Amino acid sequence: MTPKDRFLRACYQKPVDRPPVWMMRQAGRYLPEYRAVRKQKSTMEMMKDPETACAITLQPVDLIGVDAAILYSDILMVPEAMGLKLDFVRGTGPVFENPVHTEKDIEKLSDQSIAQKCDFVSRTIQLIRKKIPDDFPLLGFAGAPFTVGAYMVGGDGSHDGNTIKKMAFEERQTFRHLMTKITHATIDYLKKQVEAGVDAVQLFDTWAGTFSVEDYKELALPYEREIFKSIRAMNVPTILYIKGGGPLFEEMVASGADVISIDWRLSLSEAKQKAQGRVALQGNLDPSKLYAPIPKIEESTLQMFKDFGKGRGYLVNLGHGIMPDIPVEHARAFVDYAKKFGHETIP
């Protein structure tokens, strides 16, 4: 079975020889090869140069042996294309020079021609497709409107999501205006990724995990659903991830995503029972467990498969992105063990 067949079939809950394995943030700071590039270029330079972004995307494929590549980029490319000046500051993370606070700020944002403004992303995807075999899957991604909006309103990566929630509850019309603009921009952005050659897309709504069920249903879910509806028409599988999204699982299923990616606070067995075959599952090893000695990583990986049990529709992953100080050999061990124990899920 080819890697692409394995990945796509798992997303659609069809029989596979073993579940595919990849890791969120797999192209990044835990790899010495990535850090070597980072010494020469800024984050923005790396993301906007297709040759560099392509090389970084493929590093974990070559070095770790994952079953899928995910585009090296950032969820904040969309707000930058909408008109916010973005920089990645060492020790701080993403910073917007002109965060969004008022209706006038939102009026200045453009949700038109986003894909054209991010043409470097399409060129990167096209270059990756030339570098990898036709039978190897490439994932695209974007941030969901609520999470992207959290950064746009908060101004940097140091907030806890409260600033955007303040807008949502104090100025509901302003909040909805912002969410609608981000939604339209994100649809344009993801459609272009699919046209350029990605095989699946993942939507990250990290901060939505701070919502109650009812608030999530009103303030985040409708925009996720609109995005998934548009992308689903392009016949590629879709994945939704929310950090801390366990209490929202039933509503996440209603988003229209083909795959629900969960963190370690919701067991795979419970998620499987709740899903009742309506969606595939992805996850969910606690990334911190990759600090453990390799024999312990083997135990944790095997236990994860046993928790899922027999059945279709499973993609092996971490419950959040890999940390930058995880030893490379530990990441590789996780991938190797995922391949070794994948037969545990075969009926």
List domains and CATH numbers for the chain. Answer: 3-345 (3.20.20.210)
Q: How far is CA 92 from the centre of its chain?
A: 21
Q: In the prediction, which pLDDT does 162 show?
A: 83
Phi, psi at residue 116, to the nearest 5°? -65, -40
The model carries a pTM of: 0.96
Instruction: Name the catalytic one among 5, 38, 49, 291.
Output: 38
Instruction: Name the catalytic one among 30, 72, 151, 337.
Output: 151
How, if at all, do strands 69-70 and 138-143 pair?
parallel
Instruction: Name the catalytic one among 25, 123, 176, 332.
Output: 25
The reply to whether 291 belongs to the active site is no
Q: In the prediction, which pLDDT does 87 show?
A: 86
pLDDT digits (tens, 9 = 90+) for 210-223: 999 999 999 999 99
The reply to whether 74 belongs to the active site is yes
Q: In the prediction, which pLDDT does 159 show?
A: 59
Average pLDDT of adjacent 10-residue blocks, the chain of 347 residues: 97 98 97 96 95 98 98 96 88 83 95 94 98 97 96 75 91 97 97 98 95 97 98 96 97 98 98 98 98 98 97 98 98 98 92
Q: In the prediction, which pLDDT does 90 show?
A: 73
Handedness of CA 294, 295, 296, 301 (dihedral sign): positive
What does the CA dihedral 300, 305, 308, 310 come to, rounded to 10 degrees?
-160
- Radius of gyration over alpha carbons of the chain, in Å? 19
Instruction: Name the catalytic one among 29, 176, 265, 332.
Output: 29
Q: In the prediction, which pLDDT does 94 show?
A: 84
Distances (CA, A) of 206 to 135, 170, 187, 203, 246: 30, 22, 18, 9, 12
Question: Position 135: which residue type?
Answer: D
DSSP per-residue codes, 147-214: HHHHHHHH-BTT--SHHHHHHHHH-HHHHHHHHHHHHHHHHHHHHHHHHHT-SEEEEE-GGGGGS-HH
The reply to whether 151 belongs to the active site is yes
Q: In the prediction, which pLDDT does 76 show?
A: 95
The count of C-alpha atoms lying within 13 angstroms of the C-alpha of 295, restricted to the half-sphere facing its C-beta, is 0
Start-to-end Cα distance in the chain:
17
Reduced to 3 states, what is the DSSP secondary structure of residue 244? coil
Q: In the prediction, which pLDDT does 88 show?
A: 83
